[in-house]
Amino acid sequence: MAGYLFNLDNENSLINYIQNGIYSTKLSAPNGIWKTHHEATFADYVTMKSGDNVYFFIKRKIYGIGELVKIKIDCKYCNYPNSSEPINYDYNDIKLDLLWDEGNYSANQRWICLFKPSPFFFKTGIDMDNVLASNPNAFKMLRAFWKVSFIKFDDLENQAFKDVILKFNKKSLNDLNSDSTFHASNFKYKHREILNKKNLNDYSLDIKPILRACADGSFIRHEMAIEAGILSQLTTKDETTIQVFGDWDYLSHQVIASPFKPIDYIDKMDVFGYSYITGYSPTRSRYLVIEIKKDKANAQDIEQLMKYVGWVKDEYCYGDYSMIESYLVAYEFEKNILDYRDKVALRKYTLGRRPAISGEWKNLKIIKYFFDNQHERLQFDIVKK
């Protein structure tokens, strides 16, 4: 399962979220236009799955462990109907419709997720240095946790989070009445309240308002909105999107793709994912890498994508290119892009020793996107010679 680390201001917020089993990011008002950070937050919510783990971060310390839970149809919702529209709502106008109410600024708590203790939320916060030192090779996204409301990380990093928190709190694991755990006293009541909401379908997360607000005809003005669109359509198993990109068990975006260095210079993959061998989770069988350009892509973008392919080959596949599927997505492409792709996006490799097996990788597809105004979704065409 994946994990999420939420950044909080103070312990009062921590206790409030744990007691009620709800978290909601505090966003700035959109003023009629979704900005990149708004779209990025939506993209983070849209890939959440029941069973993913939840942690909180306050002043260098990490608290856990929670688990996202499905209430009726999902583990994440809009906080009120039409909250994904870039409209400045007045708190008093939407107060009665809120699933989560923290006061006036809840009008800009647009999306929520629901969780429970798993097994407990421990009062002992683990210093970030101790977490990183507990399993240095496992932590990738945590090293780049900077100026964001929360991050997502894969099942290997998530297990490293659980390991260190459980080891620091092992004396509390068998004591249900221990003073070393936060008592999540209200979450069952709060979840039941949401379950009984008659119009809960009106709160479902939908990519349409995000894309519509950023569309200029068939063109999308923000690459982050395209990221959110691809993630949403793959997560909701949109048939035509899966036909192009495939079906994936884990999906994320803005995933680290370079050795650690100053945060502003770290390379990040626009979309990253992987699939398990069917029936044998967590053994991984395939990896996904997508590079996105909102307008025209050129030869340099092919080279950038191949840099990410090389990173995934070394960091995740240990030399096996055959596990990687890559895609360059853009609105249009410079002339002869396919010829350049065929020239540089080719790798010969050898696996094993006795016997050694040689292979050839050329799994980079060129994909044209456009916004379908009628159905308010992204459409994709594979560019061929």
State which of 203, 238, 269 marks the end of a domain: 203
Report whether 286 contacts 323 (CB < 8 A): yes
State which of 140, 170, 203 marks the end of a domain: 203
Indicate if 30 and 121 belong to the same structural domain. yes
**Which residues lie across from 216 on neighbouring strands?**
219
Indicate if 10 and 107 belong to the same structural domain. yes
- How much is the pTM? 0.95
pLDDT, tens digit, 9 for 90 and up, residues 321-336: 999 999 999 999 999 9
Indicate if 164 and 215 belong to the same structural domain. no
Report whether 93 contacts 87 (CB < 8 A): no
- Give the model's pLDDT for residue 184: 78
- Give the model's pLDDT for residue 181: 87
Phi and psi, residue 24, nearest 5°: -145, 130
- Give the model's pLDDT for residue 176: 59
- Give the model's pLDDT for residue 177: 62
- Give the model's pLDDT for residue 53: 98
DSSP string, 327-380: EEEEEEE-TTHHHHHHHHS-EEEEE-STT-EEEEE--EEEEEEEEETTTTEEEE
- Give the model's pLDDT for residue 97: 97
Q: How far is Cα 206 from Cα 225, in angstroms, rounded to an integer?
A: 13
pLDDT < 70 positions in the chain: 175-178
DSSP state for residue 9 in the 8-state scheme? S
Indicate if 181 and 217 belong to the same structural domain. no
Torsion of CA 220, 225, 230, 234, to 10 degrees: -140
Indicate if 215 and 346 belong to the same structural domain. yes
Count of domains for the chain? 2
Report whether 326 contacts 364 (CB < 8 A): yes
Indicate if 248 and 341 belong to the same structural domain. yes
Helix (H) or strand (E) holding 274: strand 268-276
- Give the model's pLDDT for residue 353: 82
Which structural domain range is residue 81 located in? 3-203
